[in-house]
Every structure is written in C-alpha cells, then in structure tokens.
C-alpha cells in the first residue's frame, strides 16, 4: 500500500503554524458580470474536488508512525467548504478576503475553503479560495487554479483505501532506512542550503531592529498595486536584471522610506525571496527554499538594483531550493523544544517576505466568464509587519501589500511609495 506523507518542507509549515494567524494562502478571483455567482461557485467547487488533495485530510497515527499521512476523508462534503457573502460594493473586498485567509481552517476535514463574494459593482463578483500552506506552495496553488479553467480535462477521482497503522509504521521504518542510505547526499544538500541562505556571507548575522519587526496580531489588511506588465519587463531587459529584481529593489526603497518616516535608518533591509526547487508545477505540497537579499540604504537606486541582481544570480547558481532542508531541520527542532513561536516572534533574520509568481499570460475563462484579476494573499505569523505577494496575469502585474494594521497602520502610504519606486525603476 502507498502511504502519502507530508514532505520535509510541509513539516516546516506545520511546525511554524502556531501563531495568531494560521499558515494559509489565498487568492481572490475577480470576475466580470455575465454569470450567476452561485452557479460559478458550484462549478469551481466541482472542479476543485477532482484534485485528490482537496478530498484528503491529515491524519497522525501515533508513535513510530512517522510524519502525518494524507488520507481520503470518508465524510467529505463540499458544502462544508463553501460560503456566500454579500459585500455591497467593491470597497473592502480585499480586507474581507484577508479576514477569510486569517481564519484557521478546521483540521477535521480537507484544509481548504471557497467563498463567493457577491455585490461587486456592475454585477461582478469574486471567489476567494483559501488553502492551508501545507496543501500547496504558491506554484502548486497556481496549478490548482489552472485546473479550474475552462477546457482543462477533469480527471476521474478514485478513492484510495485508508492505510492501517501497521502499513504506516512499516512505511516509516522503510523511510528511515532510505534516509540513512542517502546521508551523504543529505549533507551535501544541507551545505548547499546554507550557502543559499547566505551563511558565511559578509552581512550582519542579525538584521537591524526596527518597529516594523514586532509580534503581529491576528488581523491583516490588503492593498493592491496594479501595473501594466510590459513596461516592467522592458525595464528589466534594459537593466539586464529580472522583473523580480526590480520589484525587490522597489520593496527595499519603500521600506527605507517607511522606516525613515519613523526616524529609523537601518543600513540595510533584508528581504526573504523564495527559490523554487520544483521540477513540475503540477505537484502539490511545498518545494521551496528562501534566499535573504540584503539591500543597502546608502546606495543609489541603480546601485541597489545591481546589488540585488548580484545576490539573486549567485543564489540561482546554487542547488535551487536547497535551503528548504536547512529550514526544515531548524524549525522542526525549535518546535520540538516548544520554541518555534518564540523564535518567529523575535527573529532578526529578515525584515519582510516577497513572493513572485508567474500566472497565465492570457485571460482565463472559468465557466464561460472572464477572470479579470487574480490577487494573491499570503499571511505570515511572527513579527513581520508587512509582506508583499506578486503575481503576473494577462499582461498585468499585481502586488498585494499584506500588513498588520497595528504594526503598519500606514498601509496606504506603503502602497503609494511602492508604486512610486516601481515607477522610477521602470521609467
């Protein structure tokens, strides 16, 4: 019998999921008028349920049984995962979506929810999809969204038998033997991961203390920077850098301005940028490492951009995503000592997180209705007061600014500054 386990990176997610906000990711799908929202909800739910992971829940089998196992939920009912809301106008859509993403998903069922938000202007509506991060990372989430599009063949779902405890214990024993046999490769991956994370690089071990690094609350606000993608791509080509290098540089400039207004002038800001280790976009679970990118305040904008590009190129020359192995060991060890939440509430490794995903290049139809916008939302527990989620879709670039309103109440100013810095870099 095949036992479907969570991976090492997924264990990292579970180990850090003890803060005031859960480790959820979400996406706001905004639709033009032209179809009944409730019919859309029914159609998307039906399509989503053909993905096996969305009919499975996590089960722990006890001592000697190893990490949690994905099993088909015998009581699965899609109706337990869907809700309808009336917004009464577009104002507040993204904050309402943030509230949905910040709600902890019940662990007695598959870890997802889908919300229909009606009442947008001109008869439009939105669907908010929320997943626990253990289900998928950003790339996996995009693959899920792709399965909802018109014209994608729907696979037949066949239930899998639930493994017995004996099956699970046998599988755990086999995996331990395999791990021992591959110890040399694991050591090499760990060393590569340390290099990817910048261990040994000439930068402070701890980032500068600042007021945007404070234990966060259970609330988040979301504001969006929306821009045409083509000018950003052209500017990146002109400078010999990537689109993400431009965005990271703009984020750094924004944080320097925000902290400067608070009379805080750190020499550097450090931004955590994910690095995918995926070989296939269709796999779910988490296959991503992290690269800390340090940006220097005293440099010009052009020099900052070159500094960012140098660091990201160096990271790409390493075994990509290998830092995930290091992070997994660190966070699982902290969790075992009951120090995980203490650490992430006080970490001084990064000032913020930035993620960047490449979505479909052409407008997607779902149930015959154009999908006009996709807004990504990821919430991070711990002491990071503001983070940035980036997605390109159908010629547009969307940057979600996700902020704790207690730690960063000036979120609208953050949006203004980010738009200004991005405009300067693409001019």
353 or 159: which carries more pLDDT confidence?
353
- Please report which confidence band the pLDDT of residue 202 belongs to, taking 50, 70 and 90 as the band edges: very low
**Gap between the Cα atoms of 391 and 21, Å rounded:** 22
Q: Does position 228 have pLDDT exceeding 70, yes or no?
A: yes
175 or 105: which carries more pLDDT confidence?
105
Strand partners, 274: 290
**Gap between the Cα atoms of 76 and 73, Å rounded:** 5
Q: Look up the CATH superfamily of 4-173.
A: Chloramphenicol acetyltransferase-like domain (3.30.559.10)
Query: H/E element holding 363?
Result: none
Contacts of 333 (CB under 8 A, 6+ apart): none
Q: Does position 63 have pLDDT exceeding 90, yes or no?
A: no
Query: H/E element holding 81?
Result: none
Question: pLDDT value at position 178?
Answer: 67
Hey, is 185 helix, strand or coil?
helix
9 or 85: which carries more pLDDT confidence?
85
89 or 246: which carries more pLDDT confidence?
246
- Please report which confidence band the pLDDT of residue 132 belongs to, taking 50, 70 and 90 as the band edges: very high
Produce one character per residue of 219-249: b if its CB has 16 or more CB atoms within 10 Å, e if not.
bbbbbbbebebeebbebbeebebbbbbbbbb
**Hey, where are the domains in the chain?**
4-173, 192-357+380-426
Q: Alpha helix (H) ranges present in 148-228?
A: 165-181, 183-196
What percent of the chain is predicted at pLDDT more than 90? 56
| The domains spanning 4-173 and 192-357+380-426 adopt the same CATH topology | yes
CA dihedral 33, 36, 37, 41 (to 10 degrees): -130
Give per-residue pLDDT as tens, 40-56: 999 999 999 988 899 99
**Gap between the Cα atoms of 269 and 274, Å rounded:** 16
Contact yes or no for 387/378 (Cβ under 8 A): yes
Q: Does position 368 have pLDDT exceeding 80, yes or no?
A: yes
Q: Which of 69-78, 157-166, 271-280 has the lowest mean pLDDT?
A: 271-280
Question: pLDDT value at position 88?
Answer: 66
Question: pLDDT value at position 154?
Answer: 81
Question: pLDDT value at position 182?
Answer: 53
The predicted model gives 338-342 an average pLDDT of 62
Give per-residue pLDDT as tens, 163-200: 888 888 888 887 766 666 554 554 444 444 444 445 44
Given CA atoms 215, 219, 223, 224 in this order, what sign does their dihedral have?
A: positive
**Gap between the Cα atoms of 409 and 220, Å rounded:** 10
Q: Does position 283 have pLDDT exceeding 80, yes or no?
A: no
Given CA atoms 5, 23, 29, 249 in this order, what sign does their dihedral have?
A: negative
Question: pLDDT value at position 330?
Answer: 55
- Assigned CATH class of 192-357+380-426: alpha beta
Question: pLDDT value at position 17?
Answer: 85
Closest by alpha carbon to 108, among 146, 63, 57, 174? 57
């Amino acid at each position: 019998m095949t036992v479907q386990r969570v991976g090492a990176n997924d264990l990292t997610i579970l180990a850090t999921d003890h803060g005031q906000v859960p480790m959820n990711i979400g996406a706001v799908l905004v639709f033009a008028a032209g179809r009944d929202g409730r019919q859309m909800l029914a159609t998307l739910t039906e399509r989503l349920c053909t993905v096996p992971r969305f009919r499975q829940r996590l089960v722990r089998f006890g001592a000697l049984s190893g990490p949690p196992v994905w099993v088909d939920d015998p009581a699965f009912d899609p109706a337990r995962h869907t809700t309808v809301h009336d917004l009464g106008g577009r104002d507040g859509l993204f904050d309402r979506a943030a509230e949905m993403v910040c709600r902890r998903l019940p662990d007695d069922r598959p870890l997802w929810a889908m919300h229909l938000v009606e009442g947008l202007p001109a008869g439009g509506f939105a669907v908010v999809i929320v997943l626990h991060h253990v289900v998928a990372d950003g790339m996996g989430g995009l693959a899920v969204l792709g399965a909802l599009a018109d014209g994608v063949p729907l696979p037949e779902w066949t239930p899998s038998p639930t493994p017995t405890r004996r099956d699970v214990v046998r599988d755990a024993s086999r995996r331990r033997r395999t791990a021992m046999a591959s110890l040399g490769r694991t050591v090499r991956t760990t060393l590569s991961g340390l290099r990817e994370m910048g261990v040994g690089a000439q930068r402070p071990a701890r980032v500068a203390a600042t007021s945007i690094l404070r234990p966060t609350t259970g609330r988040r606000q979301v504001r969006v920077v929306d821009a045409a993608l083509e000018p950003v791509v052209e500017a990146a080509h002109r400078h010999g850098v990537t689109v993400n290098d431009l965005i990271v540089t703009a984020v750094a400039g924004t944080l320097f301005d925000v902290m400067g207004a608070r009379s805080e002038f750190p020499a550097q800001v450090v931004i955590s940028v994910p690095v995918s280790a995926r070989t296939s976009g269709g796999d779910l679970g988490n296959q991503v490492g992290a690269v800390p990118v340090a940006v220097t305040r005293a440099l010009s904008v052009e020099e900052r951009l070159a500094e960012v590009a140098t660091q990201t190129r160096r990271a790409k020359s390493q075994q990509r995503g290998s830092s995930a192995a290091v992070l997994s060991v660190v966070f699982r060890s902290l969790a075992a000592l009951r120090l995980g939440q203490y650490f992430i509430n006080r970490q001084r490794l990064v000032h913020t997180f930035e993620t960047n995903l490449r979505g479909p290049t052409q407008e997607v139809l779902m149930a015959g209705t154009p999908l006009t916008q996709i807004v990504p939302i990821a919430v991070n527990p711990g002491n990071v007061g503001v983070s940035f989620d980036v997605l390109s879709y159908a010629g547009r670039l969307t940057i979600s600014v996700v902020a704790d309103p207690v730690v960063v109440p000036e979120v609208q100013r953050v949006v203004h500054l980010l738009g200004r810095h991005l405009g300067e870099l693409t001019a």
